Amino acid sequence: PTAAISSAIDGLPEMPPHDFQPSTHDGLDFSTVLNIRKKNLNPALFTFYRKPVYIHQGHMQYLWDTNGRRYIDLFAGIVTVSVGHCHPTVGRAAQEQMKKLWHTTNIYLHPKIHEYAEKLVSKLPGNLKVVYVTNSGSEANDLAILMARLYTGVFECVSLRNCYHGASPYLMGLTALSTWRYNSPTGFGFHHTMNPDPYRGPWGGKHCRDSPAQPGRQCDCVEGECHAKDMYVDQLEDVLRYSMPKGKVAAFIAEAIQGVGGAVQLPDGYLKKAYEKIRAHGGLCIADEVQTGFGRLGSHYWGFESQGVVPDIVTMAKGMGNGYPMGAVVTTPEIAATMGQALHFNTFGGNPVACAVGSAVLDVIDEEKTQALCADVGTYFIQALDSLRSEFEIIGDIRGKGLMIGVELVKDKVSRDPLPGDEVASIWEDTKEMGVLIGKGGLFGNCLRIKPPMCLTKADVDYSLAVLRRALQNHSQRQ
Query: Where do contacts with ligand PLP occur on this chain (CB under 6 A)?
Result: 78, 136-138, 141, 164-167, 255, 259-260, 288, 290-291, 317, 327
Residue 315 beta carbon to ligand PLP: minimum distance, rounded to whole angstroms: 7
Closest CB to ligand PLP among residues 140, 221: 140
Q: Could you tell me the smallest distance in angstroms from the CB atom of residue 261 to ligand PLP?
A: 9
Nearer to ligand PLP, 6 or 138 (CB): 138
- How far apart are CB 318 and ligand PLP at their closest, in Å? 6
Report, in Å, the least distance between residue 108 CB and ligand PLP.
Answer: 26
State the number of CA atoms in the 13 A half-sphere of 350 facing the CB. 25
How far from 53 is each of 93, 134, 436, 475, CA to CA, in Å? 29, 30, 12, 22
| Cα three-residue angle 304-310-312, rounded to 5 degrees | 110
258 to each of 104, 110, 177, 213, 355, how far by Cα in Å? 36, 35, 11, 20, 27
Q: Which is nearer to ligand PLP, 161 or 389 (CB)?
A: 161
Cβ contact 184:251 at 8 Å: no
In the 8-state DSSP scheme, what is residue 23? Answer: P
**Nearest Cα residue to 413 out of 216, 213, 209:** 216
In the complex, least distance from residue 179 CB atom to ligand PLP, rounded to whole angstroms: 13
SS3 (DSSP) at 112? helix
Taking the least distance from each CB to ligand PLP, the nearer of 137 and 204 is 137
User: Could you please report the per-residue DSSP string of 356-422?
Assistant: HHHHHHHHHHHHTTHHHHHHHHHHHHHHHHHHHHHH-TTEEEEEEETTEEEEEEBS-TTT-PBPPHH
CB nearer to ligand PLP: pick between 116 and 463: 116
Question: CA–CA separation, 172 vs 11, rounded Å?
Answer: 46
CB of 334 to ligand PLP, least distance (A): 24
Q: State which residue, 171 or 472, has the beta carbon closest to ligand PLP.
A: 171
In order of 87, 119, 297, 305, the CA distances from 301 in angstroms are 20, 14, 7, 7
Q: Are 455 and 373 in contact (CB under 8 A)?
A: yes
Check if the beta carbon of residue 72 is closer than 8 Å to that of residue 460: yes
- The answer to whether 428 and 438 have CB atoms below 8 angstroms apart is yes
Q: Say if residues 247 and 241 touch (Cβ distance below 8 Å).
A: yes
Rounded Cα–Cα distance for residues 384 and 173 (Å): 38
Residue 128: CB atoms within 10 Å: 22
Shortest Cβ 133–ligand PLP spacing (Å): 13
Closest CA to 298 of 366, 406, 377, 387: 377
Q: Shortest distance, CB of residue 374 to ligand PLP, whole angstroms?
A: 17
Secondary structure class of 248 (helix, strand, coil):
coil
Provide the minimum distance between the beta carbon of 176 and ligand PLP in the complex, in angstroms, as a whole number.
12
Q: How far is the CB of 98 from ligand PLP (least distance, A)?
A: 22
The CB-of-259 to ligand PLP minimum distance in angstroms stands at: 4
Looking at the Cβ atoms of 167 and 388, the one nearer to ligand PLP is 167
Q: How far apart are CA 62 and CA 456, in angstroms?
A: 9
C-beta closer to ligand PLP: residue 79 or 468: 79
> In the complex with ligand PLP, which residue's Cβ is closer, 141 or 359?
141
Q: Which residue number, 73 or 288, has a Cβ lying nearer to ligand PLP?
A: 288
Q: How many CB atoms within 10 Å of residue 436?
A: 27
When the beta carbons of 174 and 240 are compared against ligand PLP, the nearer one is 174
Instruction: Give Cβ neighbours of residue 192 (< 8 Å, ≥ 6 apart).
Output: 158, 159, 160, 161, 163, 176, 239
Q: In what order do the strands lie in the sheet with 284-288?
A: 130-134, 327-331, 313-316, 284-288, 251-254, 157-160, 190-193
Residue 82 C-beta: closest distance to ligand PLP, Å:
13
Shortest Cβ distance from residue 215 to ligand PLP (Å)? 31
Determine the residue with CB nearest ligand PLP.
Answer: 137
- In this complex, which beta carbon is closest to ligand PLP, that of residue 84 or of residue 137? 137
Q: How many helices (H) and strands (E) does the chain have?
A: 13, 17
